[in-house]
Structure 1
Amino acid sequence: MTESKFLNPRTVIRMVYVAAMFLVAMDATIVNVALLSICEELQISPAAAGTVNIGYLVSVALVLPMAGWLGDRFGGKRMLMIAVTLFTVASVCCGFASSLGGLIFFRILQGIGGGLIAPVGMAMLFRAFPPQERANISRSLILPIAVAPAVGPIVSGFFVEQLTWRWCFYINIPIGIIAIILGMIWLKESGKQAVGKLDLPGFLLSAPGFAMLIYALSQGTAHGWRSPEIVLTGLTGLIFLAALVFVELRTTQPMLQLRLFADRLYRTTGMIALCTAAGLLGMLYIFPLMYQDVFKASALHTGLTTFPEALGLMAASQLMPWTARKLGPRRIIQIALLCAMVVFALLCLVSEDTNPWLVRGLLLSGGLTLGHTVGAIQLLAFARIEPPQMGQAATLFQVQNRLGSALGVALLGSLLAAVSAATADAAAVGAASEATSRVAYQAALLGAAGFLAVAWGFSLTLRERDTAGVQYKKPAVSSAPKEKASVSV
């Protein structure tokens, strides 16, 4: 009896990874719109409610560096199922939380699960699919990357207006249960990777280092970059990370395999991914704020206006296999980043009189171009990585993306605040004040385009021979019976 396509282990790992990452990506944005409602029900200040997200971000940063080692040591399937289960159970507890302390605690548990899901799942997925087949799986990978963050604010706005903020967490339950059932029954565990003992010095340096740096970047704009709390936390985090580099390069079996950066292709694509994440997440942070603050749009209307960006990313995922074969990933990255810079610059010209459909068209174009960029980067970054190193490579890649996202939001938020303060004295009341506020948002959007310009500069260093061994061909159609897939996860 032949194995059905649904039961194919490669199909199952793709479905489980997409479902799990959809949860994590949506959770990163769904809570933001609900914070005010949480404040009202729990009777806390907006400043205190911010710790709900801080706890999540810091806990992700704590576990992310050791995710690759855990997956290799205990098995990808086991760690992924533990992570998804923890995330789902914590979501239930968040929905039932009756105090700020309880909500923060369960959000920390969510962050631990979320920090493990991305690198462990990505390593499993890229071990299952060889480089020449990864262009075809980009269609499903774009779902958690693009759609989930865009859906989050819309779903949150609906729940807050029609039901309660607690449904922002309850919605994770059915998706999580489906992922757990699929993984437990059909996902295959074909063995652990050969790894040594936990690199304790590396963990003791990386966990607080990344956590403190992420905290400083995420809270610098709110507390002020010169505040003792931010300065001390940020500098201490950087010292820990500097020591981490020194220690890991002298360890035979490090927790973070920094020697992977010796491969020029992996190093270059990692920097492109970091800068692209900073620009994309920065834009998605700045533009909705401008639309609400300057143009006085509601949160739900703003979410619906920005949603075409996700549609563009989805369209890019469908076109990627074709464009990868026609142009190659190097040209895709260079052309797409250049077009995305133009789109971001045009977003600066949007005013309250701009046709909303023109705005949606620009965001659709931005998603289409950056979707190609993200897909091509993922294909190139792991093209030369051997299966035993995939867990370490995926962890480093996710760490860079996390830092890029935090860096983009932090620096663009600071630019927004700095330009607003610099022009505040010159602003009068009414229209002049509104125009001054718009200038600050325009400067921040140009900053997002600047991140893409840096990424484009890195892309110019890619050489033709870097991608010579990465082929993107249509799978050959054969009448011969298919062998049962063997997947190492």
Structure 2
Amino acid sequence: MTYRSKVAWIFLLGFALDLVNMFVATVAYPDIAHELHASVTQLAWISNAYLIGLTVIIPLSVWLAAVMGERTLIAASLLLFAGASVTVGQASSIETLIGWRALQGLGGGLLIPVGQAMAYRHFPAAERSQLTARVMSVALLVPALSPALGGLIVDNVSWRWIFYANLPLALMTLLLTVLWIKPDRPSSRREPLDVGSIFQQLRSPMLRSPMLRTAMLIYLCIPGVFIGTSLIAILYLRGLGYDATQTGALMLPWALASALAILLSKKLFNRCGPKPLLLAGMLLQCLGILLLNGPALIIPAYLLMGLGGSLCSSTAQTLAFLDIPAERMGHASALWNINRQVSFCLGAAILSALLSALDSFAITFTMAAALTLLPLFAVLRLDTSRIRALLHPASEPHR
């Protein structure tokens, strides 16, 4: 195995760990609520605390890598993640569980930016699409399979073993990191940490780009709303008599539809532009959320949410960086990832709060469907001619 393949495997394993912990815990929420006497709002914070830990640490990753060295930083992150997984599983109250989840997020949050930087650095530009294909495969398979596996664990053992199950993968990744990654020395030249710079990018001139702004809004209102909707849907389905395995398995039709959406976005983005893809995706997810109100239409609902949501997210990912100069790409990437994590937190927090206040699944699902359509006017205002010029510069007349 080549060295770059080893580096890629470390990144992909760390990425998988993060994704598992973003999606697997939701199937255990009813059991956690029963044992720890947690409210719907508190259940949302099981995911939000983890996501906040992920988000807070991302801007510090470059500085920490310079101080500690990349291999040492990844190893320390995996140790922190593994230790926090044990303490989450041993939590005796919802408050302590939420606190340990935040610590777990701090450990997991360094695995993606540091591992991603290492991996892409070792692949030539012409071959990075191969690495991206692997990343997208993990991003699709893990959210699809982890809820189903988590449901089996909850039904046959205990919700606590969802978190204990992190240990084998975390420790295996740690061992491979030590064996495979070459030692690197901390940088002798590094700038002092400026905490204020963490928030400086929120005032960045890059946000003047309507494409980046629209793509970020899409992520807040489409994938973000889906995360919140899936939390509410699990509570709804358990009330209808579904067990944890059955609710987790509903992510499988979602994943199949998502795979189709990613393929469509890849094939049609340059041909049609982002506007029709985003409009179609918004409408499909909106309809899918509304179908959740019909118990007989649960599988079609997840199919439509997967198709619409992933059509929007994959299209937005391409749109976001379309007019960003190469020298600003790193800053845009950090801003994009922070927005992505925040969108997941807000979606879960807002919809759980609505359910608590309204005490109605039907009204909450209807409001979630309406939130999906919020970016409509921003999408309609996208400059089609500007996008076409960026996608097909050779076809533009010379002036």
Q: TM-score by structure 2 length?
A: 0.77
Q: 1:439 to 1:111 in 2, by over 3 A?
A: closer
**Structure 1 residue 162 displacement after superposition:** 0.5
Q: Which residue is 1:405 aligned to?
A: 344
Q: Which residue is 2:240 aligned to?
A: 296
Q: Is residue 443 from structure 1 mapped to residue 388 from structure 2 by the alignment?
A: no
Corresponding letter in the other structure for 1:396 = L
Q: Which residue is 2:224 aligned to?
A: 281
The percentage of counterpart residues that share the same residue type is: 23
The 5 Å alignment of 1:288-437 reads 289-290=232-233, 293=236, 296=240, 298=242, 299-315=244-260, 319=263, 324=266, 327=268, 331=272, 333-350=274-291, 351-352=293-294, 354-366=296-308, 369-370=311-312, 372-373=314-315, 376=318, 380=322, 384-385=326-327, 390=330, 392-413=331-352, 420=358, 437=361
Is the Cα–Cα contact under 8 Å of residues 228 and 350 in structure 2 kept in the other structure?
no
Deviation digits for residues 432-483 of structure 1, max 9, x if unmatched? Answer: xxxx7524422321212324764675585863444569xxxxxxxxxxxxxx
Is the Cα–Cα contact under 8 Å of residues 272 and 459 in structure 1 kept in the other structure?
no
Is the Cα–Cα contact under 8 Å of residues 90 and 106 in structure 1 kept in the other structure?
yes
**Structure 1 residue 288 displacement after superposition:** 5.8
- Structure 2 counterpart of 1:8, from 3, 6, 23: 3
**Structure 1 residue 149 displacement after superposition:** 3.6
Q: 1:289 to 1:404 in 2, by over 3 A?
A: closer
Corresponding letter in the other structure for 2:3 = N
Task: Name structure 1 gaps, 5 residues minimum.
Answer: 1-5, 207-243, 246-255, 422-435, 470-489
Q: Which residue is 2:102 aligned to?
A: 108
**Structure 1 residue 395 displacement after superposition:** 3.1
Q: 1:151 to 1:278 in 2, by over 3 A?
A: farther
Is the Cα–Cα contact under 8 Å of residues 341 and 453 in structure 1 kept in the other structure?
no
**Structure 1 residue 103 displacement after superposition:** 4.2
| Partner Cα distance (1:385, 1:189) in 2 | 28
The 5 Å alignment of 1:84-483 reads 84-97=78-91, 103-129=97-123, 132-188=126-182, 196-202=190-196, 206=198, 244-245=199-200, 259=204, 261-262=205-206, 268-269=211-212, 271-286=214-229, 289-290=232-233, 293=236, 296=240, 298=242, 299-315=244-260, 319=263, 324=266, 327=268, 331=272, 333-350=274-291, 351-352=293-294, 354-366=296-308, 369-370=311-312, 372-373=314-315, 376=318, 380=322, 384-385=326-327, 390=330, 392-413=331-352, 420=358, 437-451=361-375, 454=378, 457=381, 460=384, 463-467=387-391
Deviation digits for residues 126-172 of structure 1, max 9, x if unmatched? Answer: 43345554443332222453443444433332222110122111221
Q: Which residue is 2:17 aligned to?
A: 23
| Partner Cα distance (1:349, 1:46) in 2 | 24
Q: Which residue is 2:58 aligned to?
A: 64
Corresponding letter in the other structure for 1:296 = L
**Structure 1 residue 7 displacement after superposition:** 2.6
Is the Cα–Cα contact under 8 Å of residues 312 and 367 in structure 1 kept in the other structure?
no
Aligned-pair Cα RMSD in Å: 4.1
| Partner Cα distance (1:7, 1:356) in 2 | 45
Q: 1:361 to 1:63 in 2, by over 3 A?
A: closer
| Partner Cα distance (1:358, 1:105) in 2 | 37
| Partner Cα distance (1:381, 1:86) in 2 | 38
Instruction: Provide the aligned length of Structure 1 versus Structure 2.
Output: 390
**Structure 1 residue 340 displacement after superposition:** 0.8
| Partner Cα distance (1:356, 1:451) in 2 | 25
**Structure 1 residue 414 displacement after superposition:** 5.6
Corresponding letter in the other structure for 2:343 = G
Q: 1:108 to 1:330 in 2, by over 3 A?
A: farther
Q: 1:440 to 1:168 in 2, by over 3 A?
A: closer
Corresponding letter in the other structure for 1:347 = G
Corresponding letter in the other structure for 2:348 = V
**Structure 1 residue 173 displacement after superposition:** 1.6
- Secondary structure of 2:222 counterpart: helix
**Structure 1 residue 400 displacement after superposition:** 1.6
Corresponding letter in the other structure for 1:153 = P
**Structure 1 residue 343 displacement after superposition:** 0.8
Compare 162-171 and 145-154 and name the one that shifted more. 145-154
Q: 1:407 to 1:40 in 2, by over 3 A?
A: closer
Task: Name structure 2 gaps, 5 residues minimum.
Answer: 394-399
Deviation digits for residues 84-111 of structure 1, max 9, x if unmatched? Answer: 2321232134334556676455433312
- Secondary structure of 1:463 counterpart: helix
Q: Which residue is 1:220 aligned to?
A: none
| Partner Cα distance (2:240, 2:145) in 1 | 21
Is the Cα–Cα contact under 8 Å of residues 268 and 462 in structure 1 kept in the other structure?
no
**Structure 1 residue 73 displacement after superposition:** 4.3
Is the Cα–Cα contact under 8 Å of residues 412 and 448 in structure 1 kept in the other structure?
no
| Partner Cα distance (2:186, 2:211) in 1 | 29
Q: 1:52 to 1:183 in 2, by over 3 A?
A: same
**Structure 1 residue 66 displacement after superposition:** 1.4
Q: TM-score by structure 1 length?
A: 0.65
| Partner Cα distance (1:455, 1:191) in 2 | 46
- Structure 2 counterpart of 1:81, from 63, 66, 75: 75
| Partner Cα distance (1:393, 1:278) in 2 | 19
| Partner Cα distance (1:163, 1:35) in 2 | 15
Q: 1:16 to 1:109 in 2, by over 3 A?
A: same
